[in-house]
Amino acid sequence: MRQQINVLRRTAPKGLSFSVFDHDDVHWVRYIVEENGEQKQYETRMKEKGGNDPSYFVKAMAAVEPGEVITLEMKKVGIKNYVEILRPSTGEVQNADIGDDDEPEDDGTIHI
């Protein structure tokens, strides 16, 4: 699935953290975007599951400027899904780091 979006802003809203099954607090980043003239919000984990480093998606999106048009495309490696970020303005393509087991380190899940 490929989506071309205009990134309007990003936030780390208070109150958007909660405990999941492993009882770790999960912090999220919210992206307000525009797709086909309609505003939407995408939310994703700030950190890799079980890790201390920001997820590949958050790192890649940190370089995206408000107002920049990007393309998000869902990719699959093995049983894992991740989101590839294409930046036409710079020609860059960002995707999940592929480990030795050929699976992304982060699942790249985006909640709409």
β-pair type (38-45, 69-77): unpaired
CA angle, 43 then 2 then 85, to 5°: 60
Return the domain boundaries, the chain.
2-94
What is the pTM (predicted TM-score) of this model?
Answer: 0.68
Tell whether the model's pLDDT for residue 40 goes beyond 60: yes
Q: Tell me which of 17-26, 44-53, 102-111 is least confident.
A: 102-111
Q: Are 71 and 89 in contact (CB under 8 A)?
A: no
pLDDT, tens only, 59-83: 888 888 889 999 988 888 888 888 8
Tell whether the model's pLDDT for residue 51 goes beyond 80: no
